[in-house]
Structure 1
Amino acid sequence: MISLFLRGNRLSGRIPTTLINNSALAIMDLNSNFLQMELPSNIGDTLPNLWALSLSDNMFEGQFPASLGNASFLSIIYLASNNFTGQLPSSLGNLLHLTDLKLDENNFEAKDDQGWKFLDALSNCGSLQVLSLNDNQLYGPIPHSVGNLSASIQRLEFGNNYLSGTVP
């Protein structure tokens, strides 16, 4: 199986291990269901050909798996409206084909320099067009490294967080 589209259903529980271990899978769209689990820490290793991961509007929890940075074809990541927590990994900077990163309405944190390192790493993503982190736990001033993001960036969304200071 190369594509899986099960968006807008009433699916609940966990994603079966057989799907997460399908190395041929390129597109996984499970938006708008009732799925609840932590994504496996090795998901980027078991889905090396993944091009689009769309899991918004579910009940996923836990940390953003750093191994997603190993899925080198990954272009689209939609994880909005879930219960993810913790800091975003710098391994996002490995995704050279990344165009859309939508992580709104979670509990991702950036409270200090360490928490904002993912933004520095995203400067490697020369195709990035959309970075959306509305409604998370981002604190303090926006790092100056935001100016190093791709020239192709079209939308940068940091609304409804706890940002302060001046706009760089």
Structure 2
Amino acid sequence: MHKALFFITFLFFSFASFAQENSLKILNKRIAKEITIKENKRITIRTHNGEKISGRFTIFDEQSIEIKNQNILISDIVSIKKNPLLLSLFTNGLLVYIGLATIAIGTIAGIFGESSAFLLTIPGAAIIYAGVKGPNFLKNYKTNKEWSFKTMSIPQ
């Protein structure tokens, strides 16, 4: 019994030690900068035909990645931008909250005070739209600015 338990434990740790995590490597040789994005992270990409795709990515093979069941060749990617979920939730929620507060203040001030305060609903609606649209303030890595993309495996 002890030998079987030892053997199973040994197998478990040996598989874990040889495991490798796939990632997407973004590099710029001109400024000697290298960024690594691990697999299953949220990214937004643009392709040569103008298509914008965002979501969690998985590496399909050395030449392509997969986002939302769409296989995308790395050579077709024009730009990549990180799109972390926590940042998206925070900025979107904050902008929608500020927009709703602006509309509420404009409506209350218009009812009980000056009627021109109703005009505050216009920027409030614009702020809500910006929150729903989802701004992303992170850096965009573009191929026309000498960034290149490739897949790699990171030993754990």
Q: TM tier, shorter chain?
A: under 0.3
From the two aligned structures, give the one with the greater helix fraction: 2
The structure carrying a bigger strand percent of its residues is 2
Higher relative contact order (CA 8 A, sep 6+): 2
> TM-score, normalising length from structure 1?
0.19
Please identify the structure whose Cα radius of gyration is greater. Answer: 2
